[in-house]
Amino acid sequence: MAQSMTGFGRSEKVFDSRRYSIEIKSVNSRFCDINIRMPKLFNFADANIRKLISDTLVRGKVDVFISFEDDSDEACEVVVNSSLVKAYSDAITDISKITGRADDANAARLAVFPDVLLTRQKIVDENVIGEELEQTLKEALDGIREMRSAEGLNLVSDLIDKINSLEKVKAEIEDRAPSVVEEYKVRLSDRIEELLADNNKAFYDEARITAEVAVFADKCAIDEELKRLGSHFSQGKRILAVDDSVGKKMDFLIQEINRETNTIGSKANDLEITNRVLVMKNIVEEMREQIQNLV
């Protein structure tokens, strides 16, 4: 079944002393737009992370948050920036000579100067942490897929209900359409009776009325549009039943449905049909908004 583009997934896994936490959230977007926030430690895996996400989620604006902790004693090391600490020491000595004050900058005081002590992650096995990260990411993706599937199921159900509503309104238009020409013929005949005096009626025979009605009937004929609408509705149900990426297909189809609906409204020349067309256009617009959230 089709998936929504809205979802959230989270996973946390621990391997020995290493703790991985990943959160993924997504909203609708025309493309697969991935934004990742993660420690620099995982920069080597960026391409693999993006491919795994795009292959799984296909479409959507996706935000990924990755955090990592390593509680082992060997995880980090503190490094002295020897050139910088020497520069600080020399500068303090110069200040002492210039001012005549005592040079009391011991090692402990020098250590708190900016950037004298640097902490850095010790070299790790990228194959190991890459595999652990991938396992955590897949679990988070399973979570977001489950949520997107549940939301997609609700969307599809509602869209099918709306297609059923459109079919009902279409049937009402089909029932009404034949009456439009007949009512026009009656109105035309009544108008002629009203306008022409008795002695002029002979010059406007029934054949002329029939010709006028035929022209009107041709202008307001909507049989083809109604047939195409019926085909579009059936196609929409078939698309929504497919377990695949259906958003773009449905987006195109809803444009075609809207086009046929507008044509019926412009050709029908009947208030009752126009009112039903307005109902259809409202339903179509609601569908358009929902389809934007389908993968």
Do 14 and 101 belong together in one domain?
A: no
Q: Is residue 1 part of a domain?
A: no
Q: Is residue 2 part of a domain?
A: no
- pLDDT for 199: 54
Do 90 and 66 belong together in one domain?
A: no
For strands 76-80 and 117-121, give the pairing.
Answer: antiparallel
Name the stretches of the chain with pLDDT < 70. 1, 73-75, 121-123, 181-220
> How far, in Å, are 161, 183, 269, 272 from residue 189 at the CA level?
43, 10, 18, 21
- In terms of DSSP H, where are the helices of 44-125? 46-57, 82-99, 107-111
Long-range Cβ contacts of 85-89 (<8 Å, 24+ apart): 85/110, 85/111, 85/113, 85/116, 88/113, 88/116
Question: Whole-angstrom Cα distance, residue 50 to residue 208?
Answer: 72
- Polymer length of the chain: 295
Do 157 and 264 belong together in one domain?
A: yes
- pLDDT for 198: 56
- pLDDT for 148: 94
Kind plus residue range of the DSSP H or E element containing 265: helix 247-268
For the entire predicted model, the pTM comes to: 0.69
Q: Is residue 49 part of a domain?
A: yes
Q: Is residue 198 part of a domain?
A: yes
Do 14 and 52 belong together in one domain?
A: yes
- pLDDT for 220: 66
Q: How many domains in the chain?
A: 3
- pLDDT for 70: 85
Do 154 and 247 belong together in one domain?
A: yes
Q: Pick from 293, 249, 241, 290: which is nearest to 5 by CA?
A: 293
In CATH, what number is assigned to the domain containing residue 18? 3.30.230.10
Q: Which domain holds residue 112?
A: 76-121
For residue 261, the number of C-alpha atoms closer than 13 Å in the C-beta half-sphere is: 23
